Structure formats: structure tokens, C-alpha cells
Chain A
Amino acid sequence: MDFLRAKTALLSCDMDILPQLLINALITGSIYALASAGLALCYGVLRILNFAHGHLMMTGVYLFYLFSVTLGLALLPAALSTALAVAAVGAVSFTVFVRPFTRHNPVLPLVTTLALSTVLESSVAMAFGVNVKSLNTEMVSSLEIYGIFITPLQIGIIISALLLLGLTGLVIHFTPAGRTLRALAENEEAAQSLGIGSDRIRFLVFLISALMAAYAGIMLGYETNLQPTMGNSYTIKAFAAMVLGGLGNIWGTVAGAYLLGLVENLSIGLDFGGYSLPAGYRDAFAFMAILLMLLVRPSGLFRRAARRL
């Protein structure tokens, strides 16, 4: 829908909208990066492809809607309550839908997380109804900086994404816990024979992944409308980022996410000699990216086979 309100007014212009498109791409890319980093972390450490990742985003933003709009809490208490509630959902999801299947055929967790995605979607639909909801209760005015329109919130999205991703990077690369994660990601069996990697670490990684998803979901909620069925398309977008970056390669995935945001915004925004792509096809880039990559280069754009995190 009106994914980026600032953009639509400018669609008819020509190349001078490029800076605006780049900023829009950065906003979209930030959300995708937050969403897919969690998925990649989860895949890298647990070796589980979480089909419910987008649905965790959706659940997160609906819970935030519950606390901030329905119950009318202020931003901070609402955010804290959401974090707690998402942690609870993540804990139950992991314990019930993921952990019992980690030692089995990889198809099992695919099926159970798919079941989880339907459980989340139908529960939210029953609790909140299937109609469109919005976090934006009042119209936010955009700032204009050098001809680029951006809302303070969007600046917040970009900066907080960089901060969160930077923090994740610090934890992974410069702390003992991060070393454990990298060991697990590189060679699970060897790490286990050294006594590294308990269920607790997997549990924490899944929780962090769910919280990142929820945060991305809330950011998304300020940019677009809420619907119980929105989860699936973001699962696929996160998959697309991950396939672009190489399965389980978290920094490749983050790069893939920003790239996806860039391609989506440029291709829809620019017009190519009088013909511009209908905005409805925006989502299709993720699918096309997946199929193209699987056809020509399943290992991802960045060849770094051994290192995953």
C-alpha cells in the first residue's frame, strides 16, 4: 500500500528523485536487514529454517498494537511489554515447535515451523480480526532535507537498525558468547564434542532472533498497515536476503537485505523510458531474486563457504 508515503508524491518526477529513492531504499533495507539478520542467526546456529519468522514479525507488531493502541500505554511501557510478550511467544515456539526436532531429518522442522506460522497467523486473526489496522494514529509530517522527504521516525529506523546490527556484530565477534556462536555455526559436531553449545544457547539465539523479528515488525508497522496475513511475504523477503547472502552467512544476509531494498525501490520508483513497473510487483523481486540465485549461484553472492557468521 502506501509503504512510503513520502515517495508517492514524487513518483512522476524524473532522475532527480534518485536521492529520495536511495533514502527510501535505505529505510526499507534497514527493516529487511533487521528481519533477516535474526533469521540468518537462527539458521547459522540452529541449522533450522524458520518458516514462521515473518509471522513472528507480524505477532510482534500486533502485540505492540495491543499495548500501545488498544491499551493506550506510552511508548516505553508498550515496548517493554511487547518485548516480554514476544519473548514468551518465542520461548514457547522454540520449546514446542523447534527443540524436539533439531536432531531429526531437516524436513521435520520445516513442517513444524510451517505449522507454527499458521498457528500464529490464525491466533492473531482470531484475537484481532482480519481487518487492516494501523499504528499511525495521527499523520506524521515529513522533514525536508535537501529536497529529500523523511520522517523523524524513518531516521530512527535507519539509525536503530545500524545500532542493533552493530551491536550484534560486536557480540558475535568480540565476546566469549559470540565465539561459542561462531564455533557452533562453523562446525556443530566439533563444537559439541568440545562441550560447546547447549540447549540454552540455542534457546537464547531463537529468542534473540524472535525479538529482532518483532522489532523489525514494529518498524514495519509504522511504515505500512497491519494484517494477520502479512507474515508470509516477509518470511519470503528474509529468505531472499539470506539466499542472496548465502544461507547462514549473517553479514552476507544483511548486505542482501539492503540490496533487496535498493532493487525494490529503484525498479518501482524509476521509470524506464515511459514504462514503469506497477507497484504491485514490488514483492515479486524477492521471489525472482531467490529463483535467479538458486539457478545460477545457490551459494550466495559472497563466496565464503566455510565461515558462516
Chain B
Amino acid sequence: MSFLQALLTNEYYIHLVILICIYALLAQSFNLTFGLGKSFNLAHIASYAIGAYTTAILAVDQSRSPLPCMFWSLVLSGVFALTIAIIAIRLSEDYFAIGTLAFSALITALLVNWKSLTRGVLGIPGIPRPEFSFFESQTFYDNFNFLGLAATVLIVVELLLLGIFSSPYARALRAQAEFEQGALAIGHNARVLRTISFVLASAIAGLAGSLFAYYINYIDPSSFSLTEMVFIITIVVLGRPGSFWGVNGAAAFLVLLPEPLRQFDLPPSILGPMRQLIYALILFGVVFLNRNKLWPRLRRI
């Protein structure tokens, strides 16, 4: 108990736990499309970006209150997934990966170039911490309280996902991922099942983006690069795709993993790439060791 107390009174530890909450949201939603549905949606990070920018723009430019900001982050990210589905839902693996990568790159290009809206590479500073009228006693400028908010969002989303993971929907999603024609032959509309998984996952990623923007106060396009996507993939692959608790564990483990590196007092220009290198090597290692069981060989008629 005293350990827990120490943990939650230290600002830096609180910071880490908030990060774990955000990455758990991102990874768990990716786990829905990728783990259960086996769709390699590289635009997941773009959904996160859309959520973050929606909140930032509404909160800074229009001084909207937190609930509408989070709501619109969720909705716009969900709509974004629908546009992905229109183009990419019918494509085979290779084309799907190229298409979603293009979507992701297109969003990055918009963030960098639509300067009147996003301020380009300068990013959007000064995002205020959320204030809820019905919660007047609590100020979320305090990181401990913000952790409460992030954890609440995480718990609500995870309870929802826990239900979904064991639902008939998830069963059908897994079935069509393994053998699409087999699922069609027993009346499952595979494309609708996949589209729903994209929209749900994207909306959750948008919500994570909203939390991220509120927490970090300043966002710029570099937070939503492909290397971030590699990190999310690493979490899901290490946690075992489709495994609810495994992915939660992996999110916590991988966020904390590079922490010992801080002892060595490395400059940030080394520390950042080194962190990425570690994650990429873990991703490769896990895929290599499990290459025979991670994804079954494709079946086609």
C-alpha cells in the first residue's frame, strides 16, 4: 500500500501511468481490428491524430468545453474510418496495407500543410486541461486528478471491449478473418463486420487522441508518425493479437521498458531513436519466434 502511495504521489510515476492509459486505449482498439479481425490498418494512428487535433482545435480556437470536444473527436475519427472502409474494405492484404498507409500519410500531409487550421509543423500549443461544470471541486490541471479521468475513460472503454471480445460479433469477426468465404457461406456479411470494427477502433483511438491532447497541452504532427504506429503494433503483437489481458499487460510493460535508459543520461536525440529501435527489435523478435502460429496461412477457395 505504501508502495502504491509512493507511486501515485510521485509526479513522474503519475505521468507514466497516464501514458499507459492512453496507449492501452490505442492498443486495445487496434487489437479489435488487427487482433480479432486480422486487418492491418495502418491508418489507426491517423484516427488518433484526428481525435487529438479535433479536441485541440475546438478547445483552443473555439473554447469548447471538454464533453463536446471528446464527443467530436470520437465521431470524426469514426467517420474517418468509414471513408477508409469505402476504399479499402474490399482489398486484399497487400493493397489494404498500401491503402491505409496512404490514408495515414494523407492525414499527416494535411496536418503539416493546412496551416490555417492546424498551424502546420508548429503545432497547437496551449490546450487547456478539461474542466467539467459538474465536477467543480476537481481541477484536472492536477496530474493526479487527470489520471483519474484517464483511468475512468480506460475502464469504461475496456469494459465495453471486454463485452465485445466475447460477443457473437467478435466470434464472427474472428471467423471471417480466418476464412472469409467460409463466413460468407454461413451468412455473415464480412465487409460489414470489418467496417464496424474499423469504426469502433477508430472512434476509441480518437478518444485516446483527445485525452492525449488534453494531457500534453501541445500537439504537433510528429506525435502521429509511422513510428508511433509501429509502437502500437508492437504492443498488440507482444500482448498476443486477440488477447484482451495480454495487450493490457504489454501496453504497461512497453511504456515502462525504456525507463531504465534514463539512468544513462543520454541526450534526447539518442534516447528517442534508441527507444524506437528497441520497440522495433522486440516487434521483430516476437513475430520471428511466433511466425508459425501468429497468423495462420491464408485460406482461399
Contact = CB atoms under 8 A, between A and B. Distances in A.
B294 interface: yes
A110 B276 CA distance: 18
Contacts, number: 147
B152 to A, nearest CB: 33
A106 interface: yes
Nearest to A294: B99
A298 B96 CA distance: 11
Given A111-B233, A236-B105, A239-B102, A126 B295 contact: no
Nearest to A295: B87
Nearest to A288: B106
B101 A122 contact: no
Given A101-B291, A105-B295, A126 B98 contact: no
Nearest to A126: B273
Given A111-B237, A284-B109, A126 B101 contact: no
B276 A118 contact: yes
Interface stretch (B23-31, B70-78, B198-206, B281-289): B281-289
What class of interface size applies to chain A in its complex with B? 35 or more
A280 B121 CA distance: 11
B274 A122 contact: yes
Contacts of A111: 40, 233, 237, 283, 287
B93 interface: yes
B96 to A, nearest CB: 9
A130 B270 CA distance: 9
Contact of A105 (B97, B112, B297): B297
Interface residues of B, number: 48
A239 B287 contact: no
A159 interface: no
Given A49-B94, A288-B106, A236 B101 contact: yes
A287 B106 contact: yes
A108 B98 contact: no
Contacts of B184: none
Interface string A97-120: 100110011111011101111110
A57 interface: no
A116 B281 CA distance: 8
B283 A298 contact: no
A175 interface: no
B230 interface: yes
B260 interface: no
B280 A108 contact: no
A294 B284 contact: no
A225 interface: no
Contacts of B175: none
Interface in A108-143: 108, 110-112, 114-119, 121-123, 125-126, 129-130
B99 A290 contact: yes
Given A49-B97, A236-B101, A288-B106, A118 B227 contact: yes
A284 B227 contact: no
B174 to A, nearest CB: 15
Interface of B: 38, 40, 86-88, 91, 93-95, 97-99, 101-103, 105-106, 109-110, 112-113, 225-227, 230, 233, 237, 269-270, 272-274, 276-277, 279-281, 283-284, 287-288, 291-292, 294-298
